[in-house]
Amino acid sequence: MRSARISASSPVERPRSIPDLELSIRDALAHDDVEAPERLTFEAVASILRNARRSHEIGVVERTIIVLQSKRRRRENSRH
């Protein structure tokens, strides 16, 4: 799946929409280089998005999530 890269010289792009995400996933599935575990996950997510989009009972809300993760490994505490 393609991911947007942001550099100092590029403008910050508007977040992708849910239909764009579904299309990107389906595009990725069209390639033979997607391994079995990823293919299963992509197929499941694409199906969930399609079913939600078509449903009259499910509302889809876009949210942006930012995850910050330390690059340093935690030292295991030997005291228990």
Is the residue at 50 inside a domain?
Answer: yes
Is the residue at 73 inside a domain?
Answer: no
Distance CA 8, CA 4 (A): 13
User: What per-residue confidence (pLDDT) applies to 12?
Assistant: 52
Per-10-residue mean pLDDT, the chain, length 80 = 45 69 90 90 93 91 85 68
User: What per-residue confidence (pLDDT) applies to 1?
Assistant: 45
User: What per-residue confidence (pLDDT) applies to 65?
Assistant: 83
Is the residue at 28 inside a domain?
Answer: yes
Q: Which domain holds residue 38?
A: 18-54
User: What per-residue confidence (pLDDT) applies to 80?
Assistant: 58
DSSP helix/strand/coil, 36: helix
Is the residue at 48 inside a domain?
Answer: yes
Q: Are 39 and 28 in contact (CB under 8 A)?
A: no
What's the sign of the alpha-carbon dihedral 3, 60, 43, 27? negative
Question: Which residue, among 17, 18, 25, has the nearest Cα to 1 in the 3D structure?
Answer: 25
Total structural domains within the chain: 1
